[in-house]
């Protein structure tokens, strides 16, 4: 994961102890360095203790942020004392950065409440937030109104805020690839390219016939093809898979890699059912699994908004995402269900996995045309799930997010699957049906629902239901 860089504003107000601002600046910079983050902050050569109090201080800080705008992922406002509300607001307004902002206020020590060391950051934070609200600037609050910057609590806040920043930055002018037409039987994955484009999300399209044509032009002896076959065999057990099927997968993968690189794509959504099997003779699942595992997410059935949800989860956590079906009840437990796909899940989701054939499609196109799935049971783990979609009638992006866990419950079935436990699952399923969400849901081995909600709602203005 790329190193995060934060612009740091150290608030100060003259009639409070300035030594607190001096120490506070050093504390936040030390904490960021220890967390592996870089900081852009005024020094004591620029302003008093490198803090911001006056309008002149604010302009100096804004100019510094402007010079480093290309690398600043977010802004942290730290208030070691009351801080100057106008000074902080002036930096934000003047620098022109459109990034998330975290407001942290240092806690007072009840044994140090005399004039020489009282902070009043508790009160100052309210004033800073009031000024930002007046200016229409969105910001993020720590869970506790005040907290010590050197505390474990703030370390968790920093991790949360970094996820928010990665989502907001990652969705800025992101590009996805749609490979093939939407499968005729899947109206559920319809979406609006125009609504996505308005949100800065572009979709590049290519016909599946073009992909097939390019693979046919590739020679079996090409070094890139041989390397791809080797990478497939290194990735997953391929015992019993015909050589010609592996060759077709390798060529298909090489063509997708080249196309995605040419157009600077962050992920792909691929037509499968049943054109791939009938006219190309394999399923693309292994190739898609490998792409998702390498943080180049790939979704089934040209589900572009499903791919978007996968990418959001990946940005939040820095780890691979999968796309699954809300597929089956699990006995009589109202809070458990079976998530399933044929499948193309990243192999990190499984305890063990192998390549196999696609049992569902094989009945209609023949087993010999359906090799390439990644099958296994999802290992017990925490998970965040997410779905976003375009509400075309309202002209907005909307979605839901929540957390649960994949359990160790046993189930004798096929494909890639896991038993998901979610508190109040029936309430969530009611919402999915009533609001017309798709049957696909993205999942990630993480706990990032709070950060996703904060990023999509507060900074991007999407309508998100957070299932608690």
Helix, strand, or coil (residue 201): strand
Across 218-243, average pLDDT = 97
- Backbone region of residue 49 per phi and psi (left: phi > 0; alpha: psi in -120 to 50; beta: other values): left
Across 165-169, average pLDDT = 98
pLDDT interval class at 348 (50, 70, 90): very high
The Cα–Cα gap between 262 and 81 comes to: 51
The pLDDT value given to residue 273: 85
Residue keyed to tokens 């290519």: 206
The pLDDT value given to residue 18: 78
Please state the pTM of the whole predicted model: 0.97
pLDDT interval class at 366 (50, 70, 90): very high
The Cα–Cα gap between 63 and 61 comes to: 5
In the predicted structure, residue 327 carries a pLDDT above the cut 80? yes
Residue keyed to tokens 């020094």: 43
pLDDT interval class at 14 (50, 70, 90): confident
The Cα–Cα gap between 374 and 330 comes to: 22
Residue keyed to tokens 């999509």: 456
Across 112-141, average pLDDT = 93
In the predicted structure, residue 20 carries a pLDDT above the cut 90? yes
The Cα–Cα gap between 381 and 376 comes to: 15
In the predicted structure, residue 319 carries a pLDDT above the cut 70? yes
In the predicted structure, residue 19 carries a pLDDT above the cut 90? no
In the predicted structure, residue 41 carries a pLDDT above the cut 70? yes
* CATH T-level fold of 5-170: Rossmann fold (3.40.50)
The pLDDT value given to residue 71: 97
Contact 377, 350 (CB under 8 A): yes
In the predicted structure, residue 81 carries a pLDDT above the cut 80? yes
The pLDDT value given to residue 321: 98
Domain spans, the chain: 5-170, 174-467
The pLDDT value given to residue 1: 67
pLDDT tens digits, residue range 307-317?
Answer: 999 999 999 99
Contact 247, 225 (CB under 8 A): yes
| 248-253: long-range pairs with CB below 8 Å, 24+ | 248/215, 248/280, 248/281, 248/282, 249/282, 249/284, 249/286, 249/287, 249/372, 250/225, 251/215, 251/218, 251/225, 252/211, 252/215, 252/280, 252/282, 252/284, 252/287, 253/228, 253/287, 253/290
The pLDDT value given to residue 405: 98
Confirm whether 5-170 and 174-467 share one CATH topology.
no
Across 18-46, average pLDDT = 96
Q: Does domain 174-467 have CATH number 3.20.14?
A: yes
Contact 388, 305 (CB under 8 A): yes
In the predicted structure, residue 325 carries a pLDDT above the cut 90? yes
Give the β-pairing of 174-179 and 74-79.
unpaired
Across 450-468, average pLDDT = 98
The Cα–Cα gap between 314 and 322 comes to: 10
pLDDT tens digits, residue range 175-208?
Answer: 999 999 988 888 999 999 999 999 999 999 999 9
What residues does 391 pair with on adjacent strands? 396
The chain-wide mean pLDDT, for the chain, equals 96
Instruction: Give whole-number Cα distances, 440 to 133, 233, 309, 444, in Å.
Output: 37, 29, 10, 14
The pLDDT value given to residue 331: 97
DSSP 367: G
């Amino acid at each position: 994961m790329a190193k995060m860089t934060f612009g740091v504003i150290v608030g100060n107000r003259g009639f409070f102890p300035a030594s607190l601002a001096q120490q506070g600046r050093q504390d936040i910079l030390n904490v960021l360095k220890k967390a592996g983050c870089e900081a852009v902050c005024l020094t004591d050569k620029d302003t008093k203790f490198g803090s911001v109090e006056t309008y002149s201080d604010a302009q100096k800080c804004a100019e510094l942020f402007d010079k480093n705008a290309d690398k600043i992922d977010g802004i942290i406002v730290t208030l070691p004392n009351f801080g100057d509300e106008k000074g902080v607001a002036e930096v934000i307004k003047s620098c022109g950065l459109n990034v998330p902002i975290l407001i942290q206020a240092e806690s007072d020590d009840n044994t140090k409440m005399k004039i020489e060391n009282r902070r009043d950051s508790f009160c100052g934070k309210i004033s800073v937030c009031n000024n930002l609200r007046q200016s229409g600037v969105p910001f993020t609050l720590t869970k506790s109104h005040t907290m010590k910057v050197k505390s474990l609590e703030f370390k968790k806040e920093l991790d949360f805020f970094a996820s928010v920043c990665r989502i907001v930055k990652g969705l800025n002018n992101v590009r996805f690839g749609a490979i093939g037409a939407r499968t005729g039987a899947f109206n559920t994955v319809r979406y609006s390219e125009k609504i996505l484009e308005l949100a800065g999300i572009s979709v590049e399209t290519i016909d599946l016939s073009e992909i097939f044509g390019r693979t046919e032009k590739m020679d079996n002896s090409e070094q890139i093809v041989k390397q791809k076959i080797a990478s497939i065999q290194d990735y997953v057990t391929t015992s019993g898979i015909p050589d010609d099927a592996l060759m077709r997968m390798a060529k298909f993968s090489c063509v997708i890699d080249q196309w995605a690189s040419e157009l600077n794509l962050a992920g792909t959504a691929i037509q499968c059912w049943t054109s791939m099997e009938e006219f190309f003779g394999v399923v693309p699942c292994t190739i898609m699994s490998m792409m998702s595992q390498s943080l180049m997410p790939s979704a089934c059935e040209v589900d572009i908004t499903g791919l978007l949800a996968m990418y959001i989860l990946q940005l939040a956590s820095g780890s691979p995402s999968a796309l699954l079906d809300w597929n089956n009840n699990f006995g009589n437990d109202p809070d458990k269900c079976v998530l399933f796909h044929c499948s193309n899940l990243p192999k990190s989701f499984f305890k063990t996995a192998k390549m196999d054939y696609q049992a569902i499609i094989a009945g209609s196109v023949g087993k010999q045309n359906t090799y390439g799935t990644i099958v296994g049971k999802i290992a017990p783990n925490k998970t965040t799930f997410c779905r976003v979609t375009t509400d075309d009638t309202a002209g907005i992006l909307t979605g839901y997010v929540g957390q649960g866990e994949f359990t160790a419950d046993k189930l004798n079935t096929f494909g890639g699957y896991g038993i998901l436990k979610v508190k109040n699952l029936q309430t969530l399923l009611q919402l999915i049906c009533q609001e017309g969400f798709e049957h696909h849901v993205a999942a990630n081995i993480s706990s990032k629902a709070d950060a996703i909600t904060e990023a999509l709602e507060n900074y991007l203005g999407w309508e998100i239901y957070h299932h608690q």
